Chains A and B, each alone.
Chain A
């Protein structure tokens, strides 16, 4: 126990007397006279139910929330009366632009309704009937090992930040709680699939883990969000779509469609958050570029590591014969180009069109594009 109460309540005469009087029916009731803003929120769309957007009223709402949260240092729910003596919980993030995103309330509601179950929503019995050839099976198991590693850290990062955000950022805290659940389910489904292929988990990736450590150890939530939601998850979203494309069975395709839905929602939050930051805290632009410089270095090292890249080549070429490897290299290069192009496209849309010019990753991409010649992603 590192935190001790400053009062021993069983020895506190005043507290004990008040408790006894209450239990004898002598109610104090001062809380009932607290002047409050009375509201009766109703669903704007009954088919949708009562959403956070329906609760965006007056002091309870998020629209009127100031950029700097100076008043609430406690767990007091936004809009509740704050009596003297509430503890200062020392939230680390008290600036709205550090966490907020356009439509955050919508992303939360969408997340809640689109939850799925890795145990029951995947046709495991059908997957059992499919025997994968050794090279495909091992390559797939290696891909699943990599994805399990990625998703475990993707669970840790939002979970790490959740308790560090000011309680007034209720909608964001709830959204990243859904994200932690989504990522935990992804780690679960990839582990289950790896252990059901007949090959089990293959080899962890040092390169990948350095990248994951970089994600986990970001100094601020804004940096963590930039590299997790927008960069890493943006690239993983393209990777999930590619994985669906190269999946050996219909059951695997369904698995990747379900994980891509969650991932796309996280990317949506990341984009709307970056837009919010650039609109409301433009001084951050340079810091964002510096963070992306390093994030892109890590992602290049992780995404292009041998144990990550080779399974893609084997899976997309559908084998290890010479001509299959050649086809696999061609398709994997097209995937990498698509992945990089979409990442910069998202940054540009968020308000960072100059990122292409500043990025070494973009220069690598341009060189690769020249190598690829005519084949360009849609």
Chain B
């Protein structure tokens, strides 16, 4: 049964995948940050918002909403940009050159990073590889978009040995 994107179930699935990869994420090191995800729907209306909390080597909490939550940064963007990123990951097993989180957010063209404290913002880069590999775990499970479409089927062997 595919989970929906965006939804809490989608991020819970990522959390489960991460927990199955403890050794790999332990090798990447301590991963201590709380950040938000905001997905603006294509036709306007209220965005879907999620909070992800990481501690030590684990994703300890995923929750819906960003109100009254202290985050280091929030990654936000239109549904189309998120979908394009997830499609690339699902098809290739990991983000390609055009769809890494840093590339998509760098000039804020596709996704934007919001923050109050530059120290919190820099955590996006202190944990860059962990965050990227966390998002790349979405290549492992089936999900469905609100219009009923699914991401493209895998085109080649998974790129990263762990995925």
Contact = CB atoms under 8 A, between A and B. Distances in A.
Interface majority SS (helix, strand, loop, mixed), chain A: helix
A182 interface: no
Contact of A241 (B29, B97, B102, B118): B102
A158 interface: no
Interface string A344-361: 011001000000000000
Interface in A237-264: 237, 240-242, 244-245, 247-250, 253-254, 256-258, 260-261, 263-264
Contacts of A242: 106
Contacts of A113: 26, 29-30
Interface stretch (A10-18, A265-273, A319-327): A265-273
B128 A248 contact: no
A244 B119 contact: no
A334 B107 contact: yes
Contacts of A256: 102
Given A250-B94, A250-B159, A257-B100, A377 B107 contact: yes
A378 B117 CA distance: 14
A264 B122 contact: yes
B57 interface: yes
Contact of B119 (A115, A247, A268): A268
A342 interface: yes
Interface in A36-71: 45, 47-48
Interface string B84-101: 000000000011110010
B132 interface: yes
A260 B30 CA distance: 15
B64 interface: no
B30 A244 contact: no
B117 A110 contact: no
Contacts of A171: none
Contacts of B112: 378
A175 B39 CA distance: 38
Given A115-B29, A244-B100, A349 B122 contact: no
A244 B29 contact: no
Report the interface size class on chain A: 35 or more
Nearest to B32: A110
A332 B122 CA distance: 21
Contacts of B119: 268, 271-272, 346, 349
Interface of B: 26, 28-30, 32, 55-58, 94-97, 100, 102-103, 105-108, 112-113, 117-119, 122-123, 125-129, 132, 159
Q: Which 3 A-B pairs have the closest CB atoms?
A: A378-B108, A114-B29, A113-B29
Given A45-B56, A271-B119, 4 more contacts: A48-B56, A113-B29, A115-B29, A338-B107
28 contacts: A110-B29, A110-B30, A110-B126, A113-B26, A113-B30, A114-B30, A237-B122, A245-B107, A248-B97, A250-B100, A253-B97, A253-B103, A254-B129, A257-B100, A257-B128, A260-B125, A261-B129, A264-B125, A264-B126, A265-B126, A268-B119, A268-B126, A271-B119, A338-B107, A345-B118, A349-B117, A349-B119, A377-B108
